[in-house]
A and B are shown apart, each in its own frame.
Chain A
Amino acid sequence: MAYGTITQEDMDILTTLVEDPSRVHSLQDIHEDYFHDELHTVSHAPDVLVEAVSTEEVAAVVRFAAQRRLPITPRGQGTGLVGGAVALEGGIMLSLQKMNRILELDEKNMTLTVQPGVLLMEIAEYLAPTGFFYPPDPGEKSATIGGNISTNAGGMRAVKYGVTRDYVRALEAVLPSGQVVEIGGKIAKNSSGYSIKDLLIGSEGTLGIITEAVLKLIPQPKTTVSMLIPFAGLDAAIKAVPELLKSRFTPTAVEFMQREVIEAASEYLGRPFPDSSADAYLLVSCDGPSRASVDEALHEMAEKALACGAIDALIADTPERQAAVWSARGTFLEAIKASTSMIDECDVVVPRDQIAQFIAFSYEVGASFALRLMSFGHAGDGNLHIYALRDDLDEASWQEKIDAVFSRMYQRAYEIGGKVSGEHGIGFAKKEFLCNEESPETMEIMRAIKRAVDPQNIMNPGKIV
């Protein structure tokens, strides 16, 4: 069954479904940015862009889309990396950016209720003076919380605190029928049937549109100190990770980085990195209720790292020193982008002990296809970010090379017990790889769920399944 085509009459109706008709934009008024996300290789224009400000407006627009069988693509800030928020089938793009209010801080239940368009950095800024803390820390701070929930974003603190899914207590969502549902609650436990909340989290807008979320908070750790640990090579660095994680103190983050990416970041920032003595580094952070407790943790980490062959352990204990190290870490993606004409990424997750081997394999495959790769990632949870750089390749050979290289990488990842995506999601770009690597039975369960919730396939069509 084909999708409906948007007519002038549809446009007129859409303007009546929102309070302010100027929030409905026809194609000629839609900025090109809305045609793609941060992965520029997947691009398609929507026919109409609607900026919603309330659950009622979202529900009204979705109901209308369901009646007319129009494809509908929800969108936050468009910072995704898998083409998840691209209107592949045209139709309605529904922006949640203007639903950006923080609705409630419940100090007793330790929750924060937010609209989906609130930015990650706004949550951090809001909570800073309150003594509460929302631990998930994806690198892209200008992403919306709605987008984070939709992809089950991870981030650097996952080692100690887990990922977005672990911090969502409740959701309000608009289903593909236009019906509004409330799922979960301000409750710490729930064994009441299937977890629809967890199904919606990470569903990338294919099962519904999140219009409100209740986030779980924890007490703010008082002190965070980082340590930059140089190693002779990546292999030695990765081998040290299990030892560090066996420490009595769980680090908040264990990142790995290599000389090439650090140099790209230094050039991008115009500022040298605080150390250039080694080819590979682990960046370890510990937080805690006092400096003394954190110092004890760092002491143990440093001793363990040195016993595993670390060259030294360099301490970033002040805001300035942490900024020098983490600002470089924070710009890796932008720096890699700036060093080439176009990138594609592999956000694979593998068992922690396989990281070094997997990276070595990836670089071998890249080299055999003359495709330049750069990587960094979360050594503490096995989530790697391996980027293919287009440089001066023409479109055809670029596509051919990334398909060949990425297929081999994903295949190897599954062979060693990994998955296609650790935190960026599947969207459109990784769909084929998911389909190839997951079992037919698993894929059929996913498709059956999609059919049950969205029988008309109007909700973010063409993504995941």
Chain B
Amino acid sequence: MEILVLIKQVPLDSNVGVDPKTGVIKRENAETKLNPYDLFALETALRLKELAGGIVTVLTMGPPQAEAAIREAFAMGADAGYLLTDRAFAGSDVLATSYALSQAIKAIGAFDLVVCGKQTTDGDTAQVGSECSEFLGVPCLANVQTIEVIDPGAVTLVYDAGNSFIRATVQLPVLISVDKDICQPRLPSWNRMQASKGRVVKKITLDDLADKNRSHYGLDGSPTQVVRIFPPEHETTTELWDDGDLASRLFSFLQEKKFLQELA
């Protein structure tokens, strides 16, 4: 089974500051990590490989230093890695990113299963997976909770459709995005890190893609216009309750704020 996992390098601290005047992300802390949601995707892929055999390949798009994300995936058990990197991709929005990734996937080869995390902790759109599946012409199942059976030709899984959980058997190839907590991701291994030190991370540039039209990538290929980036507003208030039936009041308060809901 050929499994591809889409991964992304994100800032280490999920609470990235935004300069309220310039709208620019504060990057003094240049430390990065593998997007936490992608860890669930990679773990899912590694477990499927353990069950069904095959190869787990990871693909990321980013600047040259994003190779670190691929090396980290090697330390978790990925077999091969590709870095999609070219100045032509700079400034890509969700659509341009998804298009570039789908072009890269086609260039790498055929996959039975493409696995994505639910979203990233920096962009937070949760759209790259489904848009990729459109460009690839394969079905997409999002919010996957469990994978029950994997056969050479099909996968049976359960996904969260909002008001219900749906169990589906889908023919391969398929793209899935897995929910947080579908499994407990393993930690990167020192042994695997040492063993994969010499492994080559293959670079893919615009020249390697079937569609070489620059206007389909980067800023030119991005219909999204960013008008303004601003930090979300946080407000903390304290209420002091010291009389009356506090338990009932707290219960109503939590219910009103939707922290509690009645079971159907």
**Which residue from chain B places its CB closest to the CB of A266 in the assembled complex?**
B184
Question: Is A314 a contact of B36 with CB atoms below 8 Å?
Answer: no
* Min C-beta distance of B72 to chain A, whole Å: 9
Q: Are A314 and B184 interface neighbours, CB within 8 A?
A: no
B17: interface (CB < 8 Å): no
Q: Which of A249-257, A271-279, A432-440 has 4 or more CB atoms under 8 Å from chain B?
A: A271-279
Is A312 touching B191 in the complex (CB atoms < 8 A)? yes
Q: Given A291-B31, A320-B39, check contact A314 B189 (CB 8 Å).
A: yes
Interface residues of B in 14-68 (CB under 8 A from A): 14, 31, 33-34, 36, 39
Given contacts A315-B75, A317-B33, A320-B36, A306 and B187 within 8 Å (CB-CB): no
Q: Are A315 and B39 in contact (CB under 8 A)?
A: no
Please state if A275 and B36 are interface contacts (CB–CB under 8 Å).
Answer: no
List A255-284 residues whose CB lies under 8 Å from chain B: 271-275
Cβ-based interface call for B190 (8 A): yes
* Chain A: interface size category: 20 to 34
A426 at the interface (CB under 8 A from B): no
B188 within 8 A of A: yes
Number of residue pairs A-B, CB distance < 8 angstroms: 52
Q: How far is the CA of A321 from the CA of B33 in the complex (A)?
A: 11
B14:A302 contact, CB within 8 angstroms: no
Q: Is A324 an interface residue (CB 8 A)?
A: yes
Contacts of A297 in B (CB 8 A): none
Q: Are A306 and B184 in contact (CB under 8 A)?
A: no
A193 lies within 8 A of chain B by Cβ:
no
- B186 and A306 form a contact (CB under 8 A): no
Q: Does A341 contact B (CB under 8 A)?
A: no
Q: How far is the CA of A325 from the CA of B188 in the complex (A)?
A: 13
Does A318 interact with chain B (Cβ within 8 Å)? yes
Dominant secondary structure at the A interface:
mixed
Q: Which B residues from 117 to 168 make CB contacts under 8 A with A?
A: none
* Residues on B with beta carbons closer than 8 Å to the beta carbon of A306: 190-191
Task: Say yes or no: is A228 at the interface (Cβ < 8 Å to chain B).
Answer: yes
Q: Decide if B219 is an interface residue (CB 8 Å cutoff).
A: no
Q: A319, B184: Cβ atoms under 8 Å?
A: no
In the complex, what's the smallest C-beta–C-beta distance from B57 to chain A, in angstroms?
A: 22
B residues within 8 A CB of A58? none
Most interface-central of B12, B13, B187, B188 (chain A CB within 10 A): B187
Q: Which B170-224 residues have C-beta < 8 A from chain A?
A: 181, 183-191, 193
Measured between C-beta atoms, what is the minimum distance from A211 to chain B in Å? 25
Taken together as a complex, chains A and B put the C-alpha atoms of A275 and B190 apart, in Å, by 14
A316 within 8 A of B: yes
Q: How far is the CB of A373 from chain B (nearest CB, A)?
A: 27
Q: A119 in the interface, Cβ–Cβ < 8 Å?
A: no
Residues of A within 8 Å of B13, CB to CB, are 319
CB nearest neighbor in A for B181: A271
A423 to B63, CA, bound (A): 50
Contact A275 B187 (CB under 8 A): yes
The answer on a CB contact under 8 Å between A313 and B14 is no
Considering the chains assembled together, what is the distance between the CA atoms of A317 and B190 in angstroms?
12
Residues of A within 8 A of B181 (CB): 271
By beta carbon, the residue of chain B nearest A322 is: B187
Contact A314 B190 (CB under 8 A): yes
List the B side residues contacting A316 at CB < 8 Å.
187
Say whether B189 contacts A313, CB under 8 Å: yes
Which residue of A315, A320, A325 is within 8 Å of B190 (Cβ)?
A315
Q: Which residues of A contact B189 (CB under 8 A)?
A: 312-315
One of A271, A291, A314, A324 near B188 (C-beta < 8 A): A314
Within the complex, the shortest CB–CB distance from A263 to chain B, in Å, comes to 13
The minimal Cβ–Cβ distance linking B147 to chain A, given in whole angstroms, is 16
CB pair A302–B184 under 8 Å, yes or no, is no
Bound CA span A291–B68, Å: 14
18 contacts between A and B (CB under 8 A): A227-B190, A228-B187, A271-B184, A272-B183, A274-B184, A306-B191, A312-B190, A312-B191, A314-B186, A314-B187, A315-B187, A315-B193, A316-B187, A317-B33, A319-B13, A320-B39, A321-B185, A325-B187
Beyond known contacts A275-B186, A318-B34, A325-B187: 19 more, CB 8 A cutoff: A227-B190, A228-B187, A272-B184, A274-B186, A306-B191, A312-B189, A313-B190, A314-B187, A314-B188, A314-B190, A315-B187, A315-B190, A317-B33, A318-B33, A318-B36, A319-B12, A319-B13, A320-B39, A324-B185
On A, residues with C-beta under 8 Å from B are 227-228, 271-275, 291, 302, 306, 312-321, 324-325
